[in-house]
Amino acid sequence: MGERTTCLVVGGGPAGMVLGLLLARAGVEVTVLEKHADFLRDFRGDTVHPSTLQLLDELGLGEEFARLPHTRVEQVVFPAGDGGSVTLGDFRRLRVRHPYIAMVPQWDLLDLLADAGRREPTYTLRMQTEMTDLVREGDRVTGVRYRTADGATGEIRADLTVACDGRHSVARRQAGLRPEEFPVPIDAWWFRVPRLPGDHPAALAPRAAPGRFAVVIPRETFLQVAYIGRKGADPELRARGIEAFRQDVAELIPEFRDRMDALASMDDVKHLDVRVDRLLRWHVDGLLCIGDAAHAMSPVGGVGINLAVQDAVATATLLAEPLRRGVVGPAELAAVRTRRLVPTVLVQTLQRALHRALVGPLVEGRRPGPPALALALVRRIPQLSVVPAYLIGVGLRPEHAPPFARRAPAHS
């Protein structure tokens, strides 16, 4: 007798873990496959936005989340030419319960979601289980073949398979879905340096100089730096070596000059091939793509996790009942895309506009910093800093936990 479940979720990232939990709370039999042994992967996005924090409260997980080690980013502050600074985004102005971005290691968030899932009787999480192929009956996807870490293989059948396996999604490719790719002028490099007592504890600090750009993110014991440069420059950066890279960073952020020893070699500098892409159709019969598998986002605004989570909430909201009744057809799957398309397109359009008007010209050395007019305007009218804060922190169509997933906070 083959293995069977109602909903098979491929990939235990933010999208897959939220979807698994919510469907299980609806009483739907759900199995999540994750190819890695744990959620420990360095430099995945670690930003948890106000709308996701609110969702965690609605799920009764807010108090557990608050106990995780985290820092709070309340503002995006840009150094101005006169030695002062300009607050470009101010999350404290948002009328929400959590007016900040929580910086939390992504694995801690995923572990929390996994623990909550395991408390539901219809939930199964299978680590070290990699989906290798889709199983089909005619044109319909009816499950997947998998391989475990010890080489065992098997097959799981499901009424619905949801591809949450990220921007290089194998499930998507095998389903014959190809994303449209948009040109991107930048790549990102991530590294960390020690945090010192004088560092601003609660502000994201972007820095710009002709040809380069960086964002410094305060973490509990270190500073995480996203260094943005020209697309395709990774081989060149690595060939120039660590000393030249340390110099580049020290010129951009002079107060880091004495901390650059923290980078022993270019192995400490992780490259992110920035992509922006989007599927035209998010489903085929029996399979739906959400999160990065449906739309890879630029790191501008740090909204990838948030959108992946919102997709998962929308999917559970729309599909829990059809899954319980065993009637999930193409129309139900198409409804998920219809609900999530507008926020996705708007965010990607904004990101691409920022690539063209700001970040691209900066890294190509055509512009020394953000437009002086924009800085002057926000300085003059500080209330404007709520606009970027809202777009980043809350987004255009925040999803809320459906009634079946809500729980009172678990006190311990």
206 binds ligand FAD (CB under 6 A): no
Residue 352: CB atoms within 10 Å: 18
Burial pattern 102-126, b for ≥16 Cβ within 10 A else e, equals: bbbbbbbbbbbbbebbeebebbbbb
Cβ atoms 368, 375 nearer than 8 A: no
Among the listed residues 351, 47, 361, 42, the one whose alpha carbon sits nearest the alpha carbon of residue 213: 361
C-alpha span between 354 and 375 (Å, rounded): 15
Size, binding site for ligand FAD by CB under 6 A: 35
Cβ atoms 183, 298 nearer than 8 A: no
Residues 166-185 that bind ligand FAD (CB under 6 A): 166, 170
Nearer of residues 52 and 367 to ligand FAD, judged by Cβ: 52
165 binds ligand FAD (CB under 6 A): yes
Nearer of residues 46 and 90 to ligand FAD, judged by Cβ: 46
Nearer of residues 34 and 367 to ligand FAD, judged by Cβ: 34
33 binds ligand FAD (CB under 6 A): yes
16 binds ligand FAD (CB under 6 A): yes
Query: Partners of 143 in the beta sheet?
Result: 135, 157
Take residue 163 and report the two structure tokens written for it: 């591809």
Residues 126-145 that bind ligand FAD (CB under 6 A): 130-131
Place of tokens 């065993």: 326
Which residue among 44, 70, 98, 355 contacts ligand FAD (CB under 6 A)? 44
Sequence-ordered list of residues with C-beta below 8 angstroms from that of 162, at least 6 positions apart, any chain: 7, 8, 9, 10, 16, 19, 287, 288, 289, 290, 315
DSSP 368: S
Which residue among 3, 4, 27, 43 contacts ligand FAD (CB under 6 A)? 43
45 binds ligand FAD (CB under 6 A): yes
Q: Where does this chain touch ligand FAD (CB under 6 A) — which range of 36-44, 113-121, 253-261, 343-351? A: 36-44
Which residue among 303, 319, 328, 362 contacts ligand FAD (CB under 6 A)? 303
Residues near ligand FAD (CB under 6 A) are 10-16, 33-36, 43-47, 130-131, 164-166, 170, 190, 272, 291-293, 297, 299, 302-306, 308
